[in-house]
């Protein structure tokens, strides 16, 4: 079995070998940004905060070669990226990893150029810091964004400041295309364990890394060697891909175009890495999934499921506007809202003229807050849907619309069924609810049951 895996890995690494020197990969530059120099580069990648939920990579008994030549990696023709003057290295570094995995996939090779912009925006959405109005992000945030959404092609999300306000209709197409490139299994690698790093890159072929950057990065010669001494001054943080190694150190692919270092590559010594390295992640591509049954969607978002849920929420996002405190758009949830998403929903409403169902979910809002909604506001909402086929439903802990409500239904839990014995861990199996109408002419008490799946 081990021989079969090694043979497959060798055939994959040599599948695009050409005679002579490695062919020059394409260079993808971010548009709308000026070319960066050593003085204008933004080095703002942030190290991951401590999180015990991270799954750690455990080395297996796979045979680790004494070296992984850079020339072998270059035969894959992974594009060299240029992030320009924006601090978007977390998106560009991860884009390099995705490009490599797509080009070395066993079954269907994919040479598409993916969008660093989507990876960077999702990284800021899911990293450890609130909001998105800042530069830089973390490697964990980028991995979580890929995990939850996938990544679309560059043509669907162009990295161009001049085209940031793109057609809102692209929103749905963008996320549908992203589902074609989901993240599969991924692990955090101990960045101080060189054995684990060598084993991980041998298994997958590439690592996603962040590190502190010193002044030696600004003066890399054509040999690609980054000079470092313990006295080197730290000037920021950066994200990149580790693509090869030898006895001297790791070879990295950077996102500073092909005129930096050795055609866009550089070698970081083991001493330098152990002193300044921050984070390492290793990942595999997942398989696209289509779910048609409602029960399957429920199981995919349940507590027992820890896989990617991007294929579940893709259909929901165009129909949901999620608000946080003070009416601000909520952008840090699985089903989140952005200004572009809001415009897309409103455009659909204007084109449809009317909707079948509108739900206002106030279930997590304290009753003291919902009571501050004036009766005039409820009256306006009622007038908006009168004489239309639209049903407006407000979910709250108590009735607040009062006389403006055509029907009020109160739900209460009747009983619950648990598995297991008292004194030990138990799981909720079923719960029964009673619904009661408060309208005098519509007195009924239907019973419905929810079952854990």
Distance CA 143, CA 158 (A): 20
pLDDT (0 to 100) of residue 3:
41
pLDDT (0 to 100) of residue 296:
56
* Domain ranges for the chain: 2-285, 294-451
% residues pLDDT > 90 (the chain): 35
Does 2-285 carry CATH code 3.40.190.80? no
Mean pLDDT of the region 430-439 = 78
Q: Work out the pLDDT band at 445, boundaries 50, 70, 90.
A: low
Least confident of 112-116, 300-304, 365-369: 300-304
pLDDT (0 to 100) of residue 17:
34
Give all strands of the β-sheet with 409-419 in edge-to-edge order: 409-419, 427-437, 447-451
CA dihedral 99, 33, 145, 147 (to 10 degrees): -10
Higher pLDDT, 343 or 397: 397
Q: Work out the pLDDT band at 288, boundaries 50, 70, 90.
A: confident
Q: Work out the pLDDT band at 273, boundaries 50, 70, 90.
A: very high
Mean pLDDT of the region 63-80 = 94
pLDDT (0 to 100) of residue 441:
56
Number of neighbours of residue 330 by Cβ within 10 angstroms = 14
| CA 225 to mean position of chain CA atoms | 32
Q: Cα angle vertex 320, ends 319, 321, to 5°?
A: 130
Q: Work out the pLDDT band at 210, boundaries 50, 70, 90.
A: very high
Q: Work out the pLDDT band at 426, boundaries 50, 70, 90.
A: confident
pLDDT (0 to 100) of residue 346:
60
pLDDT (0 to 100) of residue 72:
94
Which residues pair with residue 280 across a beta bridge? 189, 209
Distance CA 221, CA 195 (A): 28
For the chain, the residue count is 453
% residues pLDDT > 70 (the chain): 68
pLDDT (0 to 100) of residue 14:
35
Q: Work out the pLDDT band at 300, boundaries 50, 70, 90.
A: low
Phi first, then psi, for residue 153 (nearest 5°) are -75, 160
pTM for the whole thing?
0.69
Phi first, then psi, for residue 404 (nearest 5°) are -80, -10
Contact 141, 123 (CB under 8 A): yes
Distance CA 343, CA 320 (A): 12
345 CB-near residues (< 8 Å, 6+ apart): 318, 319, 320, 321
């Amino acid at each position: 079995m081990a021989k079969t895996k090694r043979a497959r890995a060798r055939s994959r690494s040599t599948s695009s070998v050409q005679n002579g020197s490695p062919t020059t990969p394409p260079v993808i530059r971010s548009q709308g940004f000026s070319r960066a120099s050593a003085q204008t580069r933004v080095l703002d990648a942030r190290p991951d905060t401590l999180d015990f939920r991270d799954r750690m990579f455990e080395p297996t008994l796979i045979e680790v070669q004494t070296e992984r030549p850079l020339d072998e990696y270059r035969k894959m023709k992974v594009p060299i990226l240029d992030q320009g003057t924006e601090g978007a290295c977390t998106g560009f570094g991860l884009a390099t990893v995705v490009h490599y995995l797509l080009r070395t996939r066993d079954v269907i090779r994919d040479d598409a150029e993916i969008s660093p912009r989507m990876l960077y925006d999702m990284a800021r959405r899911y990293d450890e810091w609130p909001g998105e109005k800042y530069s830089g992000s973390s490697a964990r945030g980028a991995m979580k964004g890929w995990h939850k959404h996938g990544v679309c092609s560059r043509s669907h999300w162009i990295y161009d400041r001049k085209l940031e306000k793109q057609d809102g209709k692209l929103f749905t197409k963008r996320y549908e295309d992203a589902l074609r490139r989901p993240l599969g299994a991924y692990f955090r690698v101990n960045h101080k364990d060189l054995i684990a790093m060598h084993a991980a890159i041998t298994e997958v072929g590439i690592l996603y890394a962040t590190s502190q950057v010193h002044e030696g990065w600004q003066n890399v010669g054509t040999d690609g060697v980054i000079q470092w001494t313990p006295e080197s001054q730290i000037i920021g943080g950066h994200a990149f891909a580790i693509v090869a190694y030898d006895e001297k150190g790791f070879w990295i692919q950077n996102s500073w175009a092909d005129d930096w270092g050795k055609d866009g590559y550089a070698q970081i010594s083991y001493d330098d890495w152990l002193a300044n390295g921050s984070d390492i992640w290793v990942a595999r591509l997942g398989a696209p999934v289509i779910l048609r049954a409602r029960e399957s969607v429920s199981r995919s978002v349940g507590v027992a499921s820890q896989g990617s849920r991007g294929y579940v929420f893709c259909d929901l996002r165009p129909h949901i506007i999620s608000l946080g405190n003070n009416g601000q758009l909520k952008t840090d949830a699985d089903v989140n809202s952005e200004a572009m998403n809001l415009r897309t929903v409103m455009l659909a409403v204007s084109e449809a003229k009317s909707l079948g169902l509108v739900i206002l979910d106030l279930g997590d809002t304290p009753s003291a807050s919902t009571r501050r909604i004036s009766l005039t506001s409820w009256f306006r909402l009622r007038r908006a849907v009168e004489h239309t086929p639209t049903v407006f439903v407000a979910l709250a802990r108590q009735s607040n619309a009062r006389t403006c409500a055509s029907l009020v239904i109160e739900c209460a839990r009747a009983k619950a069924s648990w598995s297991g014995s008292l004194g030990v861990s138990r799981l909720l199996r079923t719960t029964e609810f009673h619904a009661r109408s408060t309208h005098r002419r519509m007195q009924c008490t239907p019973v419905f049951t929810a079952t854990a799946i």
